[in-house]
Structures are given as C-alpha cells and as structure tokens.
Structure 1
C-alpha cells in the first residue's frame, strides 16, 4: 500500500508487566497524547491504543517518527531516561506491516488470550478518541471501518470467539450458568490473587452481577481493586463468615498450603437452598469434604481450566480461517489505497474535459435557441462522462495489476494533465 502509515509500541510479547505499567495510559492521557502527537509532532491518521497488555501508536508520516513518539510518551509519563526502554518497542515502518499488525491486534490474534473479546472494543474506543481529536484522516477511517467489518465476519463465520479461553473468564461463565435461575445472585470473592482479581474485573464488567463483594486479608488491596472496578463492595476479613452466609456463590482465590474453607466451617452455615463454591487456588483452598455438606456444590480449578482449554483449542483451530479473512480485507484495502493514489489524476481529467466542453459550447451556444442549447449541453455532458468512465475503469484495472504508472504517462500526454490544476 502506497501510504506513509506506520506504528510503534510495546506489548506483553516484548516488555514485562513493570515496563507496561510504567507507560500505560488511561483515557485522559490517551486524549492528551493524541493532541501532542497531532499538534507538536504534526502527525496524522493517529490511533493511540493502551491496555494492560500493550501501548501502541499508529500514525502517518513520510519518515520514521518512532524516537520522537517514544520521547513524547516518556515526557507525558514523567520518565526521564526513555532511551533505556527503546529495546522493548517494536516498529512497523511500512503501511502493510502496520495495517496487518492492527488487524491482528483488533481480531485478538496478538492477544495474551487468543481471541480476546475485549480488545476489539478497546480499539473502537481508541478510534473514537482519535475522531474526537480530529486526528483521523481518510486512510485511518477506511482502515478502521475495514477492521470492524472484518471483526464482524470473524464472529459470524468462525468459531474464533466461541467459549472462554482464559481461566478467569471461564470462571465467570461457570458462575453465570450456576446462577441462571437465581434472581440478582450475590457473589463473594475471597482472596485477590491474579486470577481472583481478574474474575472481579469480569464480574464488574458483567451486567448479570450487581451484588458482588470482595474480601481480602489485607483490606487495602480489596479497596484498591474495588476503586478500580467500581460498584464492588468490600468486606472485612473478620466478617467473612457473615459474608459467606449471605452469598449464593463463594469464589476462593486464597493462597495457602492447606485448605482454608473446611467442611466444619461450611457446615455451620445455614444453607437454605444451594450454595456454590468455586476454587481458583492451587493448592486447593476449599477442602474436598465441603461438597458433602447438604446443599453445597464445589467446582475446582481443573473443571474451570478444562473449559478454558477446550475453548482455546477451538479458537486455535479457527486461526487459519481468521487469517484468510484478514488477507481478503487487506487485499480490498490495498485496492482502495491504489485507487486513492490516482484520484487526483481523475479529477484533472474531469476538469480538462469539462474545460474543452465549455469552450466548444461557448462557440456554438450564441447561434442556438434555448432548447437546442440545452440539448447540446446534455449531449456533450453525456459524451464526456462516457469518455471519462472508460479511462477511469482502465485506471482502476491498471491499479489492481500494479500498472497504473504506465497508463498515467499515456493519460498525461493525451489530456495534457500536467497543466491542469489539482483539485482540493
């Protein structure tokens, strides 16, 4: 593609979590960064994408602007020696490379969990911020709309997005199934390890669960996560038994060598109907004998990971089909890009033919009546459009064959296009 579109950024593949956290951007920071890149660096077709797994900038410029972008990012985040982090960044310095990368990111091919459902929405938000900042040009608009159309095809035509391929999301789906017949289910999450915290984030994003309580031995960690997610209640660890009594589902992510939830503890609860325990810990934090308590059902990490593994295998099997759909979209984008390259020539041809037509009309219109003059205007306009259409079709066909340059030379000589002004 003949467009100066490029990208620079880092992801979980190139940088550890500490580095990703150092330069990650929230929505306000992304919007400020867009303004900086547009107004101070003069870049166009801008997209700033920042998630927990990546921070990347897509832009248009005739030359590589990655050092300036990285330095501007460091200035925004207050990182003095940004050069120390250059090694973590990947560069995509051709339009094809940058566009292909954006497709793979947006589809979830480049995600930590293959087929990630959230990334396409994050790309949509980033595009909205770019549009709001007037930082998206014709190419980026076309590219993103093609990406969204491709995403819809992937959802409709493949099994790439089926099932929950991460343990935390598989746990969410399990809880949704268990509480399908429970009105406003009450969920208690105990222990905020990595998986437990991720489950909390999924619960907060879900419209199904509006009564979620989290409990951690260190309350400040629970309060921090509750503030991040919004809408989660925090329970003191010493009040855990009361919380268990109220909850329909208890999700445990407690890290310890021996089970924390014992049959003796759970048997003291007044279980009126069913109470579900979901154990995300390794070693197990819920004693196996807990399931012998009447009305209590226990699901451990093996059952959840089995669901996740099945979904992951299904998604991986669909990857070739996803790549084939992306290839079709890239080919269509490439054709459009080439046609955009000859668009100014088409405008010049039209202007040149119209000028000739008007000159000839001026020569004869004075000798004609109103009806004859109108008929002559219609005939010459129709003739001009037919001539123009034939050459436009030839140009577009030549673009697809990568032979537009040869035809442009002929048209330049034939219509004296070098003298025609370029239309804005």
Structure 2
C-alpha cells in the first residue's frame, strides 16, 4: 500500500461476481482462499493499488480498493484465480465512488445476500478486512468506511427484522432435510468441516432435527472434538472420510478445499444418500448428481427457499436502506473534513508565521498586551475551529482562507 497517496473517493472501486449472474461452479473458479489472499495482499503495489481487501464467500468474490481504475483491481485478483480475466469481466459488476460505497453497505447489511438478511456476511467481512490490515493494506479511508459500514449493519440488526427468524444457508440445509428425509433420527449424518458455517449447521442439526446421530470430521481434529463434546456428538479422523461417507445416509460438507473431496467414483456403489454441499468452490463433485441413488444440493439450490420469515424480511428493506443513508451521510461528513485537512493545516501554519511578520506585529501591538500575547495559540485554535466548521457547511475555496486571516486579526484586536 502507498500510504502517501491522496485518497479521492472517485478512485474507490469494487469489482466482483456473485450469485445473481454466476452459478456455484463459476464462482468456485474465482474463490480466494486465505493463502491466495495473502499472496494478493503482498502484490498490491505492483498494480498501483493503495488500500484494498478481498471478500470471498459462497455468494461472491469481490475486491474493494482505491486504484487508478477497476482494471487494476481485476488484474491483481485474477492472478490467483482458477478462472481467467476474460470470464471474470464477462460476469462482473463494477461500481465506483458512492455507488461502490452504497454496495458495501448493502452487502454488510445482508441486502445483497443470496438469502436476504443472512447475517453471516458480517463475520466474513470482518475477517477479510483483518487479513488486509495484517498486510498493511487498510489505511485511514477504508478503516473509517468499514467501521461505519459495520455500525450500520449492527443498527439494522438491532432496529429492524431484516435478519429476524432463522433463515440462512445453514438453516436452509435443515429445512431441506426436513422436507426430503423421513425418520431423520434413524439416519447416520456425517458433517465435514467445523468452521463457522459448519458449526452453525451442526448446531441447527441438533436443535431442529432433534438428533445426535452425527459424526464430525475436520482437518484439525481438536476443533471437531471440542464441538462434538459440547453437543454430545461423535467424531472421526480426517483420514477416515471415505469410510464414514460410505456408511452415512446424509453428508453435509462445509470445508474449504480447492478440489472436491467427495467424487462420483467414490459413490458409485454406495447406499442411497443425501449430500449437501455448502462450500465454494464445490467440495462435492457436481457429477454426483448423475447417480440415481444420490440427491445432491448446493448453496444455489438452498437459496431458493421462500417461506414466511423471508417475506417478513422483504418488508424491512426500506427501514434498512434508511439506516444506511444516515451512515453514508456520516461517512461523507468525515470524508469532506478529511479532504480539508491539508488546507486547514496550511492556514494554521500561515497564522503561526504571521506572528513574525513586521506589519502584523505593528498592527497587533496596538491591542495586544503581554498577557494576551501568551494566548496566541488559543486564538489560532479558535480561528481554525471556526474555519473547519465553515468549510464543513460550505467550502468556498480561497474565501475560507481570507476569512480565517480576518478572523485571526479580529481576535488579536479583542
């Protein structure tokens, strides 16, 4: 990141693809793992990118950043994707300035989620920004913007029903099982992956399906054991995946592998199964659907739920947008003040230099005593504060400078 670059809001871009125009298989080609993200964060300076971060979830891959153009962001992103730049551009949306800012607010609020109001995006956004900050890719502009975006998201969560009820991808998986599997208590369930989505899904299985006939498997076995002990479930080593999957009736996958960990070949001669793939890219080979004894659904299939809870969320959209606009105004005020800092600093320096000007010293000596001279810095501070307030209300360019000089001279005469 180049911390000396002046941030112009018109140079803030977002380029991304999401579920609206690309299916899970295409999005998988542009998914960015933490390892790949770290490589991109270290390469930003080669692409003239100042501040930036990448948000990669099952719904979307987006790059937000300050750059000469969106092309710089896309060039960088596609150096670490399986998919090529031409495909990305064909599917991508690009937003700039306040359009990009409004998009980020909408994403964080759950307004742009595949399931309206899905609040899991907030945790994913925080992790994305934290990783970027670790590599010095978050400066004052994005730091302030993201903080206000998260404040807006929290306000929407607390003051509307946009995320009310239990509707998310992980909960949609439970609804699907309720509707398509009978006698669930007798079924053996294997859940692969105990990250955030895996944990949420696991808890939903226990709470809403009323079964503990669940085996957890995770690469880091300690995490699976910890969750299993909390919920009274079983575990198996990661090396036992094939045997456990073969014995299961229901398999839920919430891992982050870059390649499928369950393939069609593995399932050709197994019993009837329901497979749920919550991963992007797909961690269950899509060709498994070709097997007559296999039912396979992914995040795109699960997002099509349309229940009463979701309809209530739709009614909350106007309230959420109004909250967003309030917070965008707050960011705009900060941004305008930030733009004025160089001018205000220059005026302050000029006022300090005026103390050594013979003409000013001759003028002020008519009014200034030794006691009042000690308060020069205080007078400058008052003048600068007035100037900042005036510029916030209406920036009149050079007129603000002249007014500050007159104000300072008037204070000197008092």
Pair 212,129 (structure 1): closer, same or farther in 2 beyond 3 Å? farther
The TM-score, its normalising length taken from structure 1, stands at 0.63
The change in CA–CA distance for 1:7 and 1:348 in structure 2 (over 3 A counts) is same
Residue 313 of structure 1: aligned partner: 311
Residue correspondence of structure 1 range 19-30 to structure 2 within 5 A: 19-30=26-37
Hey, what does 1:40 align to over in structure 2? 46
1:379 to 358, 375, 380: 375
Q: How does 1:15-414 map to 2 (within 5 A)?
A: 15-37=22-44, 39-61=45-67, 63-66=68-71, 68-79=72-83, 81-92=84-95, 94-166=96-168, 168-169=170-171, 190=188, 202-204=200-202, 230=224, 233=235, 236=244, 254=273, 309-359=307-357, 373=370, 375-398=371-394, 404=395, 407-412=396-401
SS of residue in 1 equivalent to 2:13: strand
What displacement does 1:320 show? 0.7
Contact 1:45 1:60 in 2 (8 A): yes
* In 2, Cα distance between equivalents of 1:187 and 1:336: 56
1:232-252 superposed Cα distances (whole Å, 9 cap, x missing partner): 7367478679xxxxxxxxxxx
The change in CA–CA distance for 1:323 and 1:108 in structure 2 (over 3 A counts) is: same
- SS of residue matched to 1:136: coil
Question: Displacement of 1:11 after TM fit?
Answer: 0.6
Would the aligned equivalents of 1:2 and 1:338 in 2 still touch at CA under 8 Å?
A: no
Contact 2:387 2:404 in 1 (8 A): no
Q: Distance in 2 between matches of 1:173 and 1:84?
A: 34
Q: Which runs of 5+ in 2 are unaligned?
A: 1-7, 178-183, 226-233, 237-242, 250-271, 276-293, 295-301, 406-414
Highest CA radius of gyration, 1 or 2?
1
* Inter-partner Cα distance in structure 1 for 2:186 and 2:143: 44
- 1:9 is the counterpart of 2:5: no
Counterpart residue number, 2:239: none
How far the C-alpha of 1:129 sits from its partner, in A, is 0.8
Distance 2:200 2:344 in 1: 52
Q: Could you list the runs of 5+ residues in structure 1 that have no partner in the other structure?
A: 176-185, 216-221, 242-252, 257-284, 286-303, 399-403, 417-424
TM-score (norm 2): 0.65
* CA displacement 1:130-186 (0-9 Å, x = unmatched): 1111111111011011011111111211111111124741676999xxxxxxxxxx9
Distance 1:169 1:376, change over 3 A: same
CA drift of 1:33 comes to 1.3
SS in 2 for 1:44: coil
* Residues 155, 161 of structure 1: 8 Å contact kept: yes
Tell me the distance in 2 between the aligned counterparts of 1:199 and 1:187: 22
Q: Secondary structure at the match of 1:57?
A: strand
Q: Distance in 1 between matches of 2:388 and 2:120?
A: 42
Contact 2:18 2:59 (C-alpha < 8 Å) held by counterparts:
yes
Secondary structure, aligned partner of 1:49: strand
Q: Is the 8 A contact 1:47 1:136 kept in 2?
A: yes
Contact 2:70 2:94 in 1 (8 A): no
